[in-house]
Amino acid sequence: MDERLHVNVHPVYGGTAIAAQASVLQDAMAERFIVIQYGMNDSNYKSPIEPAFRSMLDRVKAMGRTPVLTGISTATAGEVMLRAVYNVTIANLAKEYGALYANWPGDVAYDAGSLMADGVHPTDDYQQRLADKLSATILAAAPGCAEAQ
């Protein structure tokens, strides 16, 4: 991700929206765009995502920042049980909150045979495609922000 985009991605690797919530609620959020990208593990654990997402979105909006949601990317190992339901929830929350939405499951080309390192984690190529979609979503909403310093 181009640093000039002023993006803060809140990763909690192997985590859930609920686990990430505390980090987002405490962060000073100096960046213009705050990416919230959870759901895969939540789906596997059958954890509800909407309350945690709403809490994070409320905080990001209160700080005057622009939230960016991604949806859940495609994976092949096992069935991500609630992926379709969660993707609808995430897209609806993006619309309700006026957040940017990088539609990873719908807009990022996917080939199960070559894009998943172990059936769960994306290869470098697939990660680049996801990052490109995220960058394009942000730039479409705020052209020229990459040039701003």
Please check whether residue 120 is in contact with residue 79, taking contact to mean a CB–CB distance below 8 angstroms: no
Cα–Cα dist 29/8, whole Å = 7
Mean pLDDT of the chain: 82
Residue 105 pLDDT: 81
Window from 11-20, 57-66, 110-119, 131-140 with minimum mean pLDDT: 110-119
Cα–Cα distance measured from residue 117 to residue 115, given in angstroms and rounded to the nearest whole number:
6
More confident residue, 37 or 79: 37
- The pLDDT score that the predictor gives to residue 79 is 57
Contact indicator for 65, 22 with CB cutoff of 8 Å: no
Are 4 and 147 within 8 A, CB to CB?
A: yes
Report CA torsion sign: 84, 67, 98, 143: negative
- % residues pLDDT > 70 (the chain): 79
pTM of this structure: 0.85
Q: Tell me what the mean pLDDT of segment 56-63 comes to.
A: 95
CB 1 within 8 A of CB 9: yes
| Phi, psi of 73, deg, nearest 5 | -70, 165
Per-residue confidence (pLDDT) for residue 149, from 0 to 100: 37
Name the band, by pLDDT with cuts 50, 70 and 90, for residue 148.
Answer: very low
